[in-house]
Chains A and B, each alone.
Chain A
Amino acid sequence: MNANGTKVRVTIDGRTVEVAPGTLVTDAARAAEVHVPIFCSHAKLPPLGACRICVVEVGMPKLGPDRKPVLAADGAPEIAWMPKVQTGCTTPVLDGMHVRTATPVAVKARQGVMEFLLVNHPLDCPVCDEGGECQLQDLAFAFGADFTRMDEAKRTFESEDLGPVVKKEANRCIICMRCVRYCDEIMGDDALTAHQRGVWTEISSFDRQPLDCEQCGNCVEVCPVGALTALPYRFKARPWDLRQHVTICPYCSNGCSVRLGVRGNEVLRARGTEHRGVNQEYLCVRGRFGYEFVNSAERLTAPLLRMGGAQSPASFDEAVTYAAARLREIVAVHGAGSVAFLGGEKLNVEEQYLFQKLARAVIGTPHVDARTRSTARVPGDAILRATGGGRPAMSLDDLVDAQEVLVLGDDLQGEAPFAQAQLIRGQHQRGLHLTVANQRRVKLARTKFGGDWLAYRPGSEPALVAALARAALELGDAAGAAPAAPWRAAIEGWTVEKGAAATGIPADAIRAAAKRLHAASRKAILFGRAVAEHPQAASLLEAIEALGWASGAITESRAALMSFGPQSDSQGALDMGLTPDCLPGYVPAADAAARGRYEQAWGRTLDLGAGLSAPEILAAAAAGGIKALWIVADDWLASAPDRAMAAKALASAELVVVNELFLTPTARAAHVVFPASAFAEKEGVVVNCERRLQRTVRALAWRKGVKPDWEILQAVAQALGAAWSYRGAEDVFREIAKLVPGYQGRSWATLLPLGPQWSFAANAVLPERRAAAAVAELARAGEGLALLSGATLFLQGGLSHRGTLLPKLAKAPRAFLHPAEAARIGVGDGDRVSLAAPGGAIELDAALDPSVPEGSVFVPQAQAGVELNRLGAAGAPPRVTARRVGARETVGA
């Protein structure tokens, strides 16, 4: 029976399937295409057996005295059925097991369960938001009886709002515990619990207070009935009103699939997808409630032109003609090198490709960079090299099964919420161990996740990584690579002790962390913006590569490092060559032989000279060296490391073209503003942190006057005389699939439902690079407090400010101080503080937070009205002087 030793055969309603041992009967039934209803069972949660709706009859072949199956008259084995029905969601299959789901016994049992589930259910489907997509409704219709014998009065609860996101109607609850378990095991929040007992059991928060959690709304998503519903979507529509489109969330680099519900031409809700996408049903608060900007009335609807004084609306053709004419003039007078192209991390890869093609092939400038937040020049392929140089990458699903994960420098809660959920799930269910290197005690570093927290001195990431790599090398060379391997140069001269002195972490702790990483067979190293935007990013990334090789996270065939970019398609921007030194597919721009493929395809020589990176463009433009700037999908005044310099650059440029959704401060300073489509209004491909290519689809009709970026770019290119004739974004992707290494042979059709992770062919890794410079030791801290910053959960960039819910959840902007530090400088909770640096000063309210280390102040990125880059970009991290400037504002009369 056991055909290959690894599968077991189970027969369900006469259909025989082979499944892995340990599979649950409900899952085996799904494989056999037999429908067994479930409520409490969830693919990501361990079996519970709370609701009993999945009851089935289970039997095994009857064994005779000779331990052989007894055969019936027709030669089939006789089955010994268990005397009572069993719950399918908790029963693992055995070889030879028989299951019956449709016998009178099973059907009657299920009807009985349904009758019990409905004993206290209010049957208020017409009012309930879940009506129409409610599993209880569906199953009551399919399996329930049409009457009940329970005619007593129903027990009732008051409905309550659990915070601004979740509405609870406990009368409808069937106590499946999905929400409680999801919140605990996957979100790591433990915000929900079951109160009371017996018939009075009720799901609620601590003391019925508003939920103190990530407000992700996943409890609403997993609720199979209408007990938990989403307040923002309350009574907005019925499922049959909505056209549902599965596309990719525009917020972070995890690239979660979201199901947008559209009525009319308005997005009314975003939900997870049950069996699709990297995230399945999971969404974070931004993904679930951050769609509001798409519907915003503040969206730009007509191009704006500044000819002389103020900006005024113009037609699309006028704007294109003007932009092209001005660009032509500037190139004629100052040369192509006076034009720079910035931004584009939020675009689809097709648009990114056209953006750099416009710069390089049409204008002829090498100054292209998407990484506007960088504080120093970073090679375009540095992140790819640090994550294994294009070797097959790990996936977000692999994170759950990892034994040891090192999170370097970033707060994943803000930067990659889904990755954090995967880690928490791994920690909870599979024994994953976390090592969190962060200056602050971020969520993952809390004791309840049982990990180790490496609290390094602000800015000393390079020393920490170098020391970890050294400690890993002491344990023996996991890579077995030659001692002369170029990655060794990055950690030249470092010892564990030297790193310990520089980071303030005991050498033993560094050695222990390296040992865990080295010993684990399944491991991962995760990093993000704290690394990529570090002033020493270039050498830091090389040190991470060294750590990868030394700890065995990078091998010849695979790489277990993941980089979380700042935007949804940051990886695509790197892949598409939105960097000054790399053409699409990481082809070195300076390598005449390698770039030949593009010269041939684009019909011009690409000997453009050395390109400037974003911080160099900033400096050059402020000094007047750059005459024209084209900024796409980026509020440069907010993202540039030095706001004053960026303002000067925008003011002194002869032409600033901006593609934007909203009239951002940067767009206000532009000469030409093109209104662009939002993510839900255009098609294309985005690449997430796993380097996975995913299709986005168009959920909304185009708004009047708004065009997708690729059309804007094509129109200007045509006006400049280029023979571009892309009929759609798919045409652009076909060109990419022909030319770009790593993308070759892909097509839109192969990217649905879940695209592949691209990698370079085994023997086509990146060209060998000259030996890197060793990580330099950080200058000792100066005066004042270290200014820490980082992503936070509720706000990310300009788009999240355009709705109502996310800013409300994020509350007023604050600067977080350790209570002891606050006491030292005489600041109380809620007091107004001024943070001053040589570049400038900002003022905001103080909040006391023991997770911030002493000697520093934490100001999250992307808070409304907080312009951190006013302080200038000096130092790593910048030093600020904090001073109390006002008392807490008393609320009320």
Chain B
Amino acid sequence: MFKEMVQGLGVTFENLFKKPFTVQYPEEQLTMFPRFRGLHILTRHEDGLERCVGCELCAVACPADAIFVEAAENEPDAPQSHGERYAKRYEINMLRCIFCGMCEEACPEDAIYLEKKFELADYDRDAFIYTKDELLVGPEQSGYLPAR
């Protein structure tokens, strides 16, 4: 019987000195796998203009009907995107989103990507409707495209 106790505690002690599988979230952050799909970003061209042209293919591809796009025509002197059209409103309802990545696949302009951010909890349902300001990357990230 003593032998069995030592055997059992042996397993315990063995694990005490092993590297643990769990991480101390939120103090410790996980590195996501390359193809993890989290919160969307809207990307920019190298020249800082938005890649999105407001074609709404993401909206029609979305199986959860989470994306709303309203397009408008660029001011020729102060364009938002290449070409004539840009997304005046771009909203994703994260309560509906199922993070399937169909929007990313449908996008003909490489404008939308699902990035690694996954901490989306909030206190207010309205806050889950992500607007274009929240989704669009900053100008310092012009030209950035996530690796796929």
Contacts and interface: CB of A to CB of B under 8 A. Distances in A.
- A–B contact with Cβ pairs below 8 Å: the answer is yes
A241 interface: yes
A235 B73 contact: yes
A585 to B, nearest CB: 49
A15 interface: no
Given A235-B72, A235-B73, A126 B53 contact: yes
A159 B73 CA distance: 14
Contacts of B85: 126-127, 235
Contacts of A668: none
B84 interface: yes
Contact of A238 (B56, B83, B109): B56
B71 A124 contact: no
Contacts of A241: 56, 59
A238 B73 contact: no
B42 to A, nearest CB: 14
Contacts of B72: 235
Interface in B75-101: 83-85
B73 A131 contact: no
B56 A127 contact: no
A169 to B, nearest CB: 9
A237 B59 CA distance: 11
Nearest to B87: A235
B60 A127 contact: no
Interface string A223-266: 00000000000111110110000000000000000000000000
B57 interface: yes
A240 B53 contact: no
B27 to A, nearest CB: 44
B54 A235 contact: yes
A235 B71 contact: yes
Interface string B98-114: 00000000001100000
A125 interface: yes
Contacts of B108: 125-126
B55 interface: yes
SS class, residues of chain A in contact with chain B: loop
Contacts of A127: 53, 55, 83-85
Given A234-B73, A235-B72, A235-B85, A125 B55 contact: yes
Interface string B40-56: 00000000000001111
Contact of A240 (B54, B56, B70, B71): B56
A132 B70 CA distance: 15
A86 B71 CA distance: 42
Nearest to A236: B71
B83 A124 contact: yes
A159 B57 CA distance: 24
Interface string A107-136: 000000000000000001111000110000
A126 B55 contact: yes
- Number of contact residues on B: which range applies? 10 to 19
A237 B70 CA distance: 7
A125 B53 CA distance: 11
A194 to B, nearest CB: 24
A654 to B, nearest CB: 50
A125 B55 CA distance: 8
Contacts of A132: 60
Nearest to B85: A127
A238 B53 CA distance: 13
A783 B125 CA distance: 75
Contacts of A240: 56, 59-60
Nearest to A124: B83
Contacts of B109: 126
Contacts of B56: 238, 240-241
Given A235-B71, A235-B72, A235-B73, A126 B57 contact: yes
A131 B109 CA distance: 15
A164 to B, nearest CB: 15
A525 to B, nearest CB: 48
Nearest to B88: A235
Nearest to B83: A127
A131 to B, nearest CB: 7
Interface string B104-132: 00001100000000000000000000000
Nearest to B71: A235
Nearest to B54: A235
Given A126-B109, A235-B72, A235-B85, A131 B60 contact: no
Contacts of B57: 126
Contacts of A159: 84
A235 B53 CA distance: 10
A238 B84 contact: no
A241 B109 CA distance: 20
Contacts of A235: 54, 71-73, 84-85
A241 B70 CA distance: 10
Interface string A131-164: 1100000000000000000000000000100000
A238 B71 CA distance: 9
Contact of B55 (A131, A234, A236): A131
A126 B106 CA distance: 11
Nearest to B68: A241
Nearest to A123: B108
B59 to A, nearest CB: 8
Nearest to B55: A126
A674 B75 CA distance: 42
B74 to A, nearest CB: 9
Contacts of A126: 53, 55, 57, 85, 108-109
A159 B71 CA distance: 19
B39 to A, nearest CB: 23
A748 B109 CA distance: 48
Nearest to B84: A127
A857 B47 CA distance: 61
Nearest to A238: B56
A445 B5 CA distance: 112
B113 to A, nearest CB: 17
Interface string A786-820: 00000000000000000000000000000000000
A892 to B, nearest CB: 24
Nearest to A241: B56
Nearest to B81: A127
A524 B142 CA distance: 68
A236 B55 CA distance: 11
Nearest to B74: A235
Nearest to A132: B60
Contacts of A124: 83
A127 B73 CA distance: 10
Contacts of B59: 238, 240-241
Contacts of A237: 70-71
A131 B72 CA distance: 15
A624 to B, nearest CB: 56
B60 to A, nearest CB: 5
A267 to B, nearest CB: 16
A237 to B, nearest CB: 8
A241 B55 CA distance: 11
B45 to A, nearest CB: 15
A806 B135 CA distance: 39
20 contacts: A125-B108, A126-B55, A126-B57, A126-B108, A127-B53, A127-B84, A127-B85, A131-B55, A234-B73, A235-B71, A235-B72, A235-B73, A235-B85, A237-B71, A238-B55, A238-B56, A238-B59, A238-B60, A240-B60, A241-B56
Interface of B: 53-57, 59-60, 70-73, 83-85, 108-109
Interface of A: 124-127, 131-132, 159, 234-238, 240-241
> Considering the complex of A and B, which 7 residue pairs feature the smallest CB-CB distances, nearest first?
A126-B55, A235-B71, A238-B56, A127-B85, A240-B60, A126-B108, A127-B83
Given A127-B84, A238-B55, 14 more contacts: A126-B55, A126-B57, A126-B108, A127-B55, A127-B85, A132-B60, A235-B54, A235-B73, A237-B70, A238-B56, A238-B59, A240-B60, A241-B56, A241-B59
